[in-house]
Structure 1
Amino acid sequence: MTITTISPKQLHDLVQTGTQVELIDVRTPAEFREVHVPFAQNVPLDQLDAAHWAKGRNGSTHPLYIICRSGSRGKQACDKFLSAGSANVVNVEGGTLAWDQAGLPVVRGKKTISLERQVRIAAGSLVLVGSLLGAFVSPYWIGLAAFVGAGLVFAGITDTCGMGMMLARMPWNQVPKAVPTGTNAATTSCEPGASSKCCT
């Protein structure tokens, strides 16, 4: 099924008309903290339960908008929703990068290394280590570089990245959640239809 898309400007103009918009940002908490659309809710892709969200929206026919860094993870999130039976999902073209580059309002925080850059750094490091060990220790280590290369080819073909999903769960990609006094921790997590201030 074809995924519907919307440009950042179109979405911004829609919000300016006073239309209630539900926008999910599926990047890691650390990426979200660095820069995000003011009315976005952070629900990391690796934690996204599309069926739960679909149920929590109580059959709402209003579009559910998805944004990530550049569009790829947003597409994966849309696929999850489509598989869960939610057809009215819309991916924001170009993600947060395109939104920011268009000069639209954003909330900025602590700088971080994007998940895509982390994948490139990790993959490059493994290839380098495998090549050096293969040259100076044992030729069998060349297999490490070949394994990483095969993984990158697979990621390019399927548009999914196992290394990226693993890195997304690392501590440095998480943000400690502040729990208000006297409030159960479960109430601070983003829920379907929650305020756009949730998890910011």
Structure 2
Amino acid sequence: MVGQVKKISPSDLFERMKADNFVLIDIRSVQEYQEEYLRGSKNIPIEEFGSYDFSKDYNKAAIFYCRRGRRTSQAADFLNKYPFKEVLILEGGIMAWKAKNLSTVKSTKSPIDLMRQVQIIAGGLVSIGAILGFFVNSNYIAISGFVGVGLLLAGISGVCGLARVLRLMPWNKSIN
């Protein structure tokens, strides 16, 4: 096991990118990565670490990042189990990087984030159910109740049925 996980500031990472021997790993979802990422990084979502072979990079420092730094900070003990030369976390994630006016690679073709799509549809259905229940027939309130139960089950189980269906839609094919 390597020493303690350390944080690296965006400015220090920028300087280090000029010459150092390291691997830059974005732990966010594939879709988040497709939307915007740091040049030279590779996307390995944290949930895929168990099946990914890092062994070719063990002789390097590993620098991990996410959107704001929370996911990487929460995963620090887990990340530290890999025998990299050094384990670093980008302090503040890609948002802190952008706040320093450092460049990222952006995609203009990426769809809206899957969870935002879920929120838009769920919010719309709840609103429609409430409006129809108030103005047309009180039975329409069941739409809001159905969506609420679906969100509750998704929160408890960690599996969102609506997200699974949306992932199959044509506009989301790039994230499969």
Secondary structure of the residue aligned to 1:32 is helix
Q: Could you say which residue in structure 2 is the equivalent of 1:175? A: 174
Q: Could you say which residue in structure 1 is the equivalent of 2:65? A: 67
Secondary structure of the residue aligned to 1:175 is helix
Q: TM-score, normalised by structure 1?
A: 0.57
Q: TM-score, normalised by structure 2?
A: 0.62
Out of 100, 103, 108, the residue aligned to residue 102 of structure 1 is 100
Instruction: Give, in angstroms, the shift of residue 106 of structure 1.
Output: 1.8
The one-letter amino acid of 2:41's match is: A
CA–CA distance in 1 between the matches of 2:94 and 2:106?
12
Secondary structure of the residue aligned to 2:127 is helix
Q: Could you say which residue in structure 2 is the equivalent of 1:6? A: 8
CA–CA distance in 2 between the matches of 1:115 and 1:101?
25
Instruction: Give, in angstroms, the shift of residue 89 of structure 1.
Output: 4.4
CA–CA distance in 2 between the matches of 1:3 and 1:166?
33
Closer/same/farther in 2, CA of residues 27 and 173 from structure 1, 3 Å limit: farther
Instruction: Give, in angstroms, the shift of residue 59 of structure 1.
Output: 8.2
Closer/same/farther in 2, CA of residues 141 and 41 from structure 1, 3 Å limit: same
Closer/same/farther in 2, CA of residues 115 and 176 from structure 1, 3 Å limit: closer
The one-letter amino acid of 1:114's match is: D
Secondary structure of the residue aligned to 1:33 is helix
The one-letter amino acid of 1:94's match is: G
Instruction: Give, in angstroms, the shift of residue 144 of structure 1.
Output: 2.8
Please give the per-residue CA displacement for 1:43-66, whole angstroms capped at 9, x wherever unaligned: 3455x1x2333x532682644222
Higher RCO (CA-CA < 8 Å; seq separation 6+): 1
Please give the per-residue CA displacement for 1:18-59, whole angstroms capped at 9, x wherever unaligned: 11221122334444333221111123455x1x2333x53268
Aligned-residue CA RMSD (Å) = 4.3
Matches within 5 A, 1:182-193: none
CA–CA distance in 1 between the matches of 2:59 and 2:162?
30
The one-letter amino acid of 2:9's match is: S
Unaligned runs of 5+ in 1: 178-200
| Structure whose alpha-carbon radius of gyration is higher | 2
Closer/same/farther in 2, CA of residues 146 and 31 from structure 1, 3 Å limit: closer
Out of 76, 82, 90, the residue aligned to residue 86 of structure 1 is 82
